[in-house]
A and B are shown apart, each in its own frame.
Chain A
Amino acid sequence: MEKVTQPKVYVRTCVALLALLALTWAIGYVDLGSFNLIVALAVAIAKAIVIALFFMHIKGSSRLLHLVAVAGVIWLLFLISLTLGDYFTRGWVPLNH
């Protein structure tokens, strides 16, 4: 029999996720200028990490699975950062807002 997680861990994970949802939602009504985007993204990333760690059992799984999970995200960052590098340095997008 494989080891299982205590139910309270899952319940706490879900409560934390719902609290983070409430936070994003609330901040959506506050004018923070361009920080609205940064805070919203930070909360979304926090939620994704919590889901991956506890619901998807990245916490407690093998190094190999950690590697694959991180690799997917790193390639996404390559995709976005290299493309935006082009857009931002060639004057393809106005950066005045």
Chain B
Amino acid sequence: MIDIADLQIHYADAATPALRCPRLRAREGELILVCGPTGSGKSTLLGALVGLVPHFTGGTLRGHVRVAGRDTREHRPRDLAGVVGYVHQHPATSFVTDHVEDEIAYGLETLGLAPTVMRRRVEETLDLMDLAELRTRPLRRLSGGQQQRVAIAAVLAGGPELLVLDEPTSALDPVAAEEVLSALQRLVHDHGLTVALAEHRLERVVHHADGIVLVGDGLASDVLDPAEAMAISPVYPPIVALGREAGWAPLPLSVRAARRAAVSLRGELATPAPDVPAGSPRRAAVPAGPTPRAGTDPGLLVRDLTVVRGGRPVLRGVDLQVRPGELVAVMGRNGSGKSSLLWACAGALTAAGGTITVSDRAVADLPVAQRVTAVGLVPQDPADLLYAPSVGEECRDADVDAGVPPGTCAALLAGLAGPLDPATHPRDLSEGQRLALGLAVVLLSRPAALLLDEPTRGLDYAAKAHLVGVLRGLARDGTAVLLATHDVELAAELATRVVLLADGEVVADDDGPHVLATSTAYAPQIARVLHPVPALTLADVRARRDAAQGVPGDARAAG
């Protein structure tokens, strides 16, 4: 189905190739996962499979890419349209029409199918992707998960043999992501479709994969067996980290396989050690966990907040408190009001009822220029905060805006992201670097409360770990940090408290480990593998093991 030979892709005038792939062969009916750190060339590889590289993006291609027997040298993406389907990362930008049914029919129209065949295919695809009730809905009124399904349906209707997806679950909550991925897997098994997808949140996908392609530093490997690939991959999900730590071979990739392998490990971790209370394994792992200042400063206090948008209440009577030094994660499905809560706390959305105060100052009463010293929000796309054509100029503007000595922002940025070339355009930075720049700009005003909306979208594991360190540092310095996130693993690493929102109301507001460990949708992988042992992250596991056994060397006994 896919046959790549001696591929080299050079962009514009670059000396080194953006992607090299000596050999890649994939059979029909496989789900192939392409994984690697940010900027390693995954999108280039997927683009090459569709023909977008080089016909659409420009560049020079050497070697051959053959898909379903057709060489992309002779076939432009539009000629491959009946055979290969491509789903972009942001489905909203790829919609051509206004309604669900028209969007699905659009591809069929360009392929020139007979009208009766088109009707049938559209109906079948609507059923396949569970969109039948939404058929006349305007596309802009769909949620993120629904839009993703429509984008996949629009491409599926033409009956392609290969489906290429670029980060299909980045905008989705865990349950919606699981639905989309399971639908894809069912298509692979029942219809013989071949799927190639790139994803950063490997914990959602790795158990579905039939083969893994590792991409690093512009070099792509062949399709490898998943367990072998995960054993050598530089990016790996928590379940693989646990497997590597415990020395399991072959590496289990699904929760079920890992539970079978973890029987003895569970036994050894379940023995309560004398000086570690059973309920709090995480505190031992985190060095001197953030202690809130002794009750004088209430931090961010939200009382009975009601927000109405478009005539509909998106938040109803929400009560929340984030004390200085606390890291609180707000979680919930798409549309439950997380973003609205954050924007209302930042003062950008007017509240229909209730109060929001930071250190006893009402946020809504503050003038805009002073609001940034009370609460700072980093939006979902940090590029929204950046206006200047270069990093250096952005830092200088930010220094002027915040009234701090010149060079403060640059120093702060260097601390967050390492040395950056000040002449780089912000759009050329990687996701993690852009987030760091946005964070630096917001932190210049020293807000008492820091709010982050989905910070880990598009970040790989290394960048995430770095962000975790930065946020912990901020909490230690006394900032109140509130995160809205879908990323369960991030919440497991970071959050002291977790708040669950559903339909605009607070459903749970409790100690982080307790909420996450007892939830089905929001339980991190390690918690599911080691249930009922209350360990959420690898650090927890190490701490429990060291505490239970006392001697680090005995840890290798796990089978």
Question: Do A and B interact with each other, yes or no?
Answer: no
Give B residues with C-beta under 8 Å from A: none
Interface residues of A (CB under 8 A from B): none
